[in-house]
Amino acid sequence: MSRKQPTFHGFPKEQRAFSPGRRTTRQSRQCRPRGTKEAMHLVLRSDLARGPKSLLKYDSAVRNMIGKLAKRHGVRIYRIVNAGNHLHITLKLSKQFTWKGFISGLTGGIARVVQHKRDANKKRGFWNVRPFTRLIAWGRDFNIAKDYLTLNQLEADGVVPPRSQMLRPERWRCVVLAFS
Protein backbone atom coordinates (compact mmCIF):
# COMPACT_ATOMS: atom_id res chain seq x y z
CA MET A 1 0.00 0.00 0.00
CA SER A 2 1.39 3.43 -0.97
CA ARG A 3 1.76 6.22 1.51
CA LYS A 4 -0.31 9.37 1.18
CA GLN A 5 1.53 12.53 0.20
CA PRO A 6 1.80 15.07 3.03
CA THR A 7 -0.24 18.23 2.63
CA PHE A 8 0.89 21.85 2.69
CA HIS A 9 -1.73 23.03 5.18
CA GLY A 10 0.87 24.57 7.48
CA PHE A 11 2.10 27.08 4.89
CA PRO A 12 0.28 30.09 3.46
CA LYS A 13 -0.31 29.84 -0.29
CA GLU A 14 2.09 32.73 -1.06
CA GLN A 15 4.99 30.95 0.68
CA ARG A 16 4.65 27.61 -1.04
CA ALA A 17 7.63 27.05 -3.25
CA PHE A 18 5.70 25.61 -6.19
CA SER A 19 2.37 27.39 -5.95
CA PRO A 20 1.23 29.03 -9.21
CA GLY A 21 2.95 32.34 -9.84
CA ARG A 22 5.56 31.76 -7.17
CA ARG A 23 8.04 29.58 -9.03
CA THR A 24 11.44 31.13 -8.54
CA THR A 25 14.07 28.62 -9.54
CA ARG A 26 12.16 26.63 -12.13
CA GLN A 27 10.40 29.50 -13.83
CA SER A 28 12.94 29.82 -16.63
CA ARG A 29 12.44 26.18 -17.57
CA GLN A 30 8.83 26.67 -18.56
CA CYS A 31 8.17 27.42 -22.20
CA ARG A 32 6.29 30.54 -23.17
CA PRO A 33 2.92 30.06 -24.90
CA ARG A 34 2.79 30.11 -28.66
CA GLY A 35 0.08 29.13 -31.08
CA THR A 36 -0.80 29.12 -34.75
CA LYS A 37 -4.52 29.87 -34.53
CA GLU A 38 -4.31 33.04 -32.42
CA ALA A 39 -2.19 36.16 -32.69
CA MET A 40 0.73 36.62 -30.30
CA HIS A 41 2.01 39.63 -28.43
CA LEU A 42 5.81 39.54 -28.23
CA VAL A 43 7.84 41.88 -26.01
CA LEU A 44 11.63 42.19 -26.19
CA ARG A 45 13.24 44.42 -23.54
CA SER A 46 16.80 45.64 -23.09
CA ASP A 47 18.12 48.07 -20.49
CA LEU A 48 21.25 48.52 -22.62
CA ALA A 49 19.14 50.07 -25.41
CA ARG A 50 19.39 53.61 -24.06
CA GLY A 51 21.22 56.67 -25.29
CA PRO A 52 23.37 55.96 -28.35
CA LYS A 53 22.12 52.35 -28.55
CA SER A 54 18.43 53.23 -28.28
CA LEU A 55 16.19 51.19 -30.55
CA LEU A 56 14.53 54.43 -31.71
CA LYS A 57 17.75 55.48 -33.46
CA TYR A 58 17.79 52.22 -35.41
CA ASP A 59 14.03 52.06 -36.03
CA SER A 60 14.10 51.66 -39.81
CA ALA A 61 16.85 49.03 -39.71
CA VAL A 62 15.01 47.08 -36.99
CA ARG A 63 11.73 47.19 -38.94
CA ASN A 64 13.44 46.07 -42.16
CA MET A 65 15.09 43.17 -40.39
CA ILE A 66 11.81 42.10 -38.75
CA GLY A 67 10.10 42.20 -42.15
CA LYS A 68 12.80 40.10 -43.83
CA LEU A 69 12.82 37.51 -41.05
CA ALA A 70 9.03 37.34 -41.02
CA LYS A 71 8.94 36.73 -44.76
CA ARG A 72 11.66 34.08 -44.55
CA HIS A 73 9.99 32.16 -41.70
CA GLY A 74 6.36 32.59 -42.73
CA VAL A 75 5.34 34.82 -39.84
CA ARG A 76 2.64 37.43 -40.32
CA ILE A 77 3.38 40.76 -38.60
CA TYR A 78 0.36 42.85 -37.61
CA ARG A 79 2.05 45.67 -35.72
CA ILE A 80 5.49 46.76 -34.50
CA VAL A 81 5.86 49.36 -31.75
CA ASN A 82 9.33 50.61 -30.91
CA ALA A 83 9.42 52.24 -27.48
CA GLY A 84 13.16 52.90 -27.26
CA ASN A 85 14.26 50.26 -24.78
CA HIS A 86 11.69 47.62 -25.71
CA LEU A 87 9.76 46.36 -28.70
CA HIS A 88 6.16 45.22 -28.92
CA ILE A 89 5.33 43.01 -31.89
CA THR A 90 1.93 41.54 -32.72
CA LEU A 91 2.37 38.52 -34.96
CA LYS A 92 0.88 35.21 -36.07
CA LEU A 93 2.88 32.04 -36.70
CA SER A 94 2.05 29.90 -39.69
CA LYS A 95 3.65 26.75 -38.19
CA GLN A 96 4.93 25.94 -34.69
CA PHE A 97 8.44 25.03 -35.86
CA THR A 98 9.03 28.48 -37.41
CA TRP A 99 9.19 30.13 -33.96
CA LYS A 100 12.70 29.05 -32.99
CA GLY A 101 14.35 30.29 -36.19
CA PHE A 102 12.37 33.53 -36.16
CA ILE A 103 13.03 34.51 -32.54
CA SER A 104 16.72 33.55 -32.56
CA GLY A 105 17.29 35.46 -35.79
CA LEU A 106 15.33 38.42 -34.47
CA THR A 107 17.09 38.77 -31.12
CA GLY A 108 20.57 38.23 -32.54
CA GLY A 109 19.92 40.46 -35.54
CA ILE A 110 18.66 43.38 -33.47
CA ALA A 111 21.68 43.15 -31.17
CA ARG A 112 23.88 43.13 -34.28
CA VAL A 113 22.08 46.14 -35.79
CA VAL A 114 22.53 48.11 -32.56
CA GLN A 115 26.19 47.01 -32.65
CA HIS A 116 26.21 45.50 -29.21
CA LYS A 117 29.46 43.71 -28.45
CA ARG A 118 29.44 41.29 -25.54
CA ASP A 119 32.26 41.91 -23.05
CA ALA A 120 34.50 38.95 -22.32
CA ASN A 121 34.36 39.72 -18.59
CA LYS A 122 30.59 40.09 -18.38
CA LYS A 123 28.20 37.24 -19.03
CA ARG A 124 25.33 39.63 -19.69
CA GLY A 125 23.90 39.82 -23.18
CA PHE A 126 21.92 42.58 -24.86
CA TRP A 127 18.44 41.44 -23.77
CA ASN A 128 17.33 41.48 -20.12
CA VAL A 129 15.23 38.35 -20.07
CA ARG A 130 13.75 35.82 -22.42
CA PRO A 131 11.14 37.15 -24.85
CA PHE A 132 7.71 37.60 -23.31
CA THR A 133 4.85 36.14 -25.33
CA ARG A 134 1.12 36.14 -24.81
CA LEU A 135 -1.60 34.62 -26.94
CA ILE A 136 -4.28 37.08 -28.04
CA ALA A 137 -7.77 35.83 -28.80
CA TRP A 138 -9.46 37.40 -31.80
CA GLY A 139 -12.07 40.06 -31.15
CA ARG A 140 -12.18 41.99 -27.91
CA ASP A 141 -8.81 40.78 -26.63
CA PHE A 142 -7.12 41.73 -29.91
CA ASN A 143 -8.67 45.22 -29.77
CA ILE A 144 -7.47 45.71 -26.18
CA ALA A 145 -3.94 44.71 -27.19
CA LYS A 146 -4.14 47.07 -30.18
CA ASP A 147 -5.13 49.98 -27.90
CA TYR A 148 -2.31 49.12 -25.51
CA LEU A 149 0.21 49.20 -28.36
CA THR A 150 -1.19 52.52 -29.56
CA LEU A 151 -0.76 53.99 -26.10
CA ASN A 152 2.79 52.64 -25.91
CA GLN A 153 3.62 54.22 -29.29
CA LEU A 154 2.19 57.57 -28.17
CA GLU A 155 4.32 57.42 -25.01
CA ALA A 156 7.43 56.68 -27.07
CA ASP A 157 6.69 59.60 -29.41
CA GLY A 158 6.21 61.96 -26.46
CA VAL A 159 2.58 62.82 -27.26
CA VAL A 160 1.33 61.35 -23.99
CA PRO A 161 3.29 61.45 -20.72
CA PRO A 162 4.42 58.06 -19.43
CA ARG A 163 1.91 56.15 -17.34
CA SER A 164 4.20 56.42 -14.33
CA GLN A 165 3.60 60.21 -14.36
CA MET A 166 -0.14 60.05 -14.93
CA LEU A 167 -2.57 59.99 -12.07
CA ARG A 168 -5.83 59.15 -13.84
CA PRO A 169 -6.55 57.35 -17.13
CA GLU A 170 -9.07 60.06 -18.03
CA ARG A 171 -6.11 62.22 -19.05
CA TRP A 172 -4.96 59.89 -21.84
CA ARG A 173 -8.11 57.98 -22.85
CA CYS A 174 -9.30 60.74 -25.22
CA VAL A 175 -5.86 60.86 -26.92
CA VAL A 176 -5.85 57.10 -27.50
CA LEU A 177 -9.33 57.20 -29.03
CA ALA A 178 -8.26 60.00 -31.38
CA PHE A 179 -5.32 57.98 -32.75
CA SER A 180 -6.97 54.55 -33.07
pLDDT(173) > 80: no
What is the distance between the alpha carbons of residues 76 and 55, in angstroms, rounded to a whole number?
Answer: 22
State the total domains in the chain: 1
The reply to whether 117 falls in a domain is yes
How much is the pLDDT for 10? 54
Q: Which amino acid is at 170?
A: E
Instruction: Supply the CATH number for residue 127's domain.
Output: 3.30.70.1290
Task: With residue 175 as reference, give the H or E element that holds it.
Answer: helix 170-179
Spell out the long-range contacts of 8-12 with Cβ–Cβ below 8 A and sequence spacing 24 or more: none
Whole-model pTM?
Answer: 0.69
pLDDT tens profile 109-126: 888 888 765 555 566 777
Contact 155, 83 (CB under 8 A): yes
- Asked whether residue 43 is domain-assigned, the answer is yes
Domain assignment of residue 114, yes or no: yes
Q: Mean pLDDT throughout 43-62?
A: 83
Least reliable range by pLDDT among 1-10, 50-59, 146-155: 1-10
Q: How far apart are CA 91 and CA 73, in angstroms?
A: 12
